[in-house]
A and B are shown apart, each in its own frame.
Chain A
Amino acid sequence: MASKKFLYVNRKAPHGSIYALESLEVVLIGAAFEQEVTLAFIDDGVYQLLKNQDSSAIGSKNFSPTYRALGDYDVNQIYVERESLELRGLTKEDLMPLTWEDEDDDWAEKDSIHVVSSAELAEVIEQQDVLLNF
């Protein structure tokens, strides 16, 4: 099977609409297809990665722990747009730690999250074959 570069762009808050949850479902299924997978979080999408989420008061499922499984699915290229964080008064410290184990480096635990400028993110987007926006 041909290998392509898939980029999932997440632009919406985790709750308020179902796009974030159903995006994550595509990412997890897509990971089984042995394609190159990259995730980007921009605009309100950066809220999807906030740590200590609690959605019990709105009665919606808190699916945020699932992001921590991404490393086990070899999804370890996660880009977060710096401008989107700054506009919302957030820093990387507000995000949950997402890591992966590099089997080529004695299973060293490495950071999956890269905070990049919008110009750097544009370069990442430029390199992709298939782009899915959620």
Chain B
Amino acid sequence: MKFSIMVNEGPYTHQASDSAYHFTAAALKAGHEIVRVFFYHDGVNNGTRLSIPPQDDRNVCTRWSELGQQHELELILCVAAAQRRGLLDEDEAKRAGKNSDNIAPGFEISGLGQLIDAGIQADRLVVFGD
């Protein structure tokens, strides 16, 4: 089956991102296809590479980044949501005159059209949020 995943909450405050990660990993392991993982609302905060959780806890952001690179997943941060919350890639940072970017490897910033397209392409769009 073809799944698209939507993540609507950031790391740690809610379990949504953890559940989405476990669902995505399990679906891939079972041989399903992941069309795209789309991060919206505070979900865009999962895409930072500057998160430093305590060493005895899971690293929610790095975990997504690694899963994405391992399976060549599309991990998309909504550009409008990301700009509001200070998630920038190199191009965005340059364009906005900021002195740093912060998105993790494997993540991409793109538009809301990618969410609609994810809903069209997939058999099921599975939404994780609070």
Contacts and interface: CB of A to CB of B under 8 A. Distances in A.
A19 B80 contact: no
B26 interface: no
A6 B116 contact: yes
Contacts, number: 45
B81 A22 contact: yes
Interface stretch (A24-32, A48-56, A76-84, A94-102): A24-32
Interface stretch (B58-66, B68-76, B93-101, B119-127): B119-127
Interface stretch (B10-18, B29-37, B46-54, B107-115): B107-115
Contacts of A87: none
A129 B41 CA distance: 22
B21 to A, nearest CB: 20
A2 interface: yes
A70 to B, nearest CB: 16
B120 A4 contact: yes
Nearest to B125: A130
A117 interface: no
Contacts of B106: none
A112 B129 CA distance: 29
Interface in A71-124: none
A127 B125 CA distance: 16
Interface residues of A, number: 19
B127 A29 contact: no
A22 B125 CA distance: 18
A18 B80 contact: no
A35 interface: yes
The B contact surface, by secondary structure, is helix
A132 B80 contact: no
Give chain B's interface residue range (CB within 8 Å of chain A). Answer: 10 to 19
A132 B127 contact: yes
Given A22-B40, A29-B113, 16 more contacts: A1-B120, A2-B120, A4-B119, A22-B80, A22-B81, A26-B40, A26-B112, A26-B115, A26-B116, A29-B116, A30-B116, A33-B113, A33-B120, A35-B116, A130-B125, A133-B127
28 contacts: A1-B120, A4-B119, A4-B120, A6-B116, A6-B119, A18-B41, A19-B41, A22-B40, A22-B81, A26-B40, A26-B112, A29-B112, A29-B113, A29-B116, A30-B112, A30-B116, A33-B117, A35-B120, A129-B119, A130-B119, A130-B125, A131-B125, A132-B6, A132-B119, A132-B125, A132-B127, A133-B127, A133-B129
